[in-house]
Amino acid sequence: MAEKEKDELEKMNEALSMSEQFVEKYQKPLLLGLLVVVVIVGAILGVCHFYLLPREDKAQAAMYQAVMAFENDSIDLAINGNEKFDGLLTIVDQYGSTAAGNLANAYLGLAYYEKGEYETAQKYLSAFSADETVLSPAVTAAIGNCLVDMEKYAESAKYFEKAAKVSDNAVFSPIYLKKAAAAYEKVGNNEAAVKLYQEIKDKYPTSNHARGIERYIERAQNK
């Protein structure tokens, strides 16, 4: 019986490891997928609970077109729209108080990040708000990525730490903690880096990022 439980535990750990590798490799597609889900769910909730209020309905319709453009890598079209639909900028400006308008901020941030306009990306990502524990930390980590690309490493580390804390799970948190630790190493704050690497080891020992973490701890300690 004990052997069977051991085998099952090993299978669970292996599955978790594979999930972490998938998340790390496909972070951007996963974040985009989450955003699309929120758009769809938001539309359904609008139908069920708000009886298609004209303002929310128009914003959701515009978001659909803009999101499709973004998904097809038509970044400028998604941002600015055309004669057939409003772009993300217009949605944020005209429907900022709606759920779709809020979500447009996140998409705008990602769009400007793709264009390499990191300050503008940070601005719109920071304007997005959500209370749940998957999308919210993912957007917070995206802000951290913007700051890394602007070489604001110490500031970026704070965002990655916040994302890890809000996520608080063995799939996403180790990714964000490792990003934060790497950022601290960039500015020579090796003590903070060691602390975060150790947190991965202690708090998420079965995660993929906990494997070989001693090398990172030793490297940071010996700098």
Q: What is the pLDDT along the chain (223 residues), one digit of tens a residue?
A: 444 444 444 443 443 343 344 344 445 555 555 555 555 555 545 544 543 456 677 777 778 889 889 989 899 999 999 988 889 999 999 887 788 888 899 999 999 999 999 999 999 999 998 876 778 899 999 999 999 999 999 999 999 999 999 998 998 999 999 999 999 999 999 999 999 999 999 999 999 889 999 999 999 998 7
pLDDT reported for residue 187: 96
CB neighbourhood size of 12 (10 A): 11
pLDDT reported for residue 157: 97
Measured CA to CA in angstroms, residue 219 lies from 49, 193, 214 at distances of 54, 10, 8
The SS3 call for residue 217 is helix
Q: CA quadruple 166, 172, 178, 182: dihedral positive or negative? A: negative
Give the closest residue to 42 by CA, choosing from 125, 108, 98: 98
Phi and psi angles of residue 81, each rounded to the nearest 5 degrees, phi first: 70, -165
Measured CA to CA in angstroms, residue 98 lies from 8, 104, 156, 219 at distances of 46, 10, 29, 48
If you ran DSSP here, which 8-state letter would residue 133 be given?
A: S
Q: C-alpha 153: how far from its chain's center? A: 18
If you ran DSSP here, which 8-state letter would residue 209 be given?
A: G
User: How is residue 111 written in tokens?
Assistant: 């769009």
184 and 157 in contact (C-beta within 8 Å)? yes
Give the closest residue to 104 by CA, choosing from 88, 115, 81, 123: 88
Q: Under 8 Å CB-to-CB from 168, ≥6 apart: which residues?
A: 133
User: How is residue 64 written in tokens?
Assistant: 């659909």
Number of residues that make up the chain: 223
d(CA 179, CA 43): 34
pLDDT reported for residue 22: 39
User: How is residue 43 written in tokens?
Assistant: 């539309």
Q: Under 8 Å CB-to-CB from 109, ≥6 apart: which residues?
A: 121, 122, 123, 124, 125, 126, 127, 128, 139, 142, 143, 146
End-to-end CA gap in the chain:
47
